[in-house]
Amino acid sequence: MTEKIETGSILTGKVTGIQPYGAFVALNGNTQGLVHISEITHGYVKDINDHLKVGDEVQVKVLSVDEAAGKIGLSIKATEEPPAQQVVKAKRPRKRQAAAIVPEIEGQQGFNTLKDKLQEWIDQSQREDLIKK
């Protein structure tokens, strides 16, 4: 690696390889760095190939230099103006509809409290015709 490359500097490089996670950019004859997929452009990038191809010349900003590991982190979106903020309408909470009141009909199936059903279950458990033999 060369000492000329400093964090924060903006350089011109050439895309030398594309992977699903980012693009490799040659900064000079023997130095290259990686532009992570999240640093390609503002917004979501599903496929890097939609934005870059091998051989493209790009402006990159140096985000990090790790000389011990020999890695340089680059960003293309840091050299571009962010898009204008879109006005997002605030969502109002939806009004909840009141539950319909249904008159109780005798013999109607539905929710009963345990207290209401307990005696019925006791009676059923004691009936001979319901007991399996």
Q: What digits encode the pLDDT tens for the residues 29-87? A: 788 899 999 999 888 889 999 999 999 999 999 999 888 888 899 999 988 888 877 65
Asked whether residue 71 is assigned to any structural domain, the reply reads: yes
CATH number of the domain bearing residue 17: 2.40.50.140
pTM reported for the whole predicted model: 0.59
Residue with tokens 């503002």: 42
Q: Per-residue pLDDT for 1 more than 70?
A: no
Q: By percentage, how much of the chain surpasses pLDDT 90?
A: 34
Asked whether residue 70 is assigned to any structural domain, the reply reads: yes
What is the domain extent for residue 44?
A: 10-79
- With CA atoms as reference, report the closest residue to 22 among 13, 12, 33: 33
Q: Which long-range contacts (CB under 8 A, 24 or more apart) does 95-98 make?
A: none
Asked whether residue 42 is assigned to any structural domain, the reply reads: yes
Asked whether residue 98 is assigned to any structural domain, the reply reads: no
> How many domains does the chain contain in total?
1
Q: Which long-range contacts (CB under 8 A, 24 or more apart) does 118-126 make?
A: none
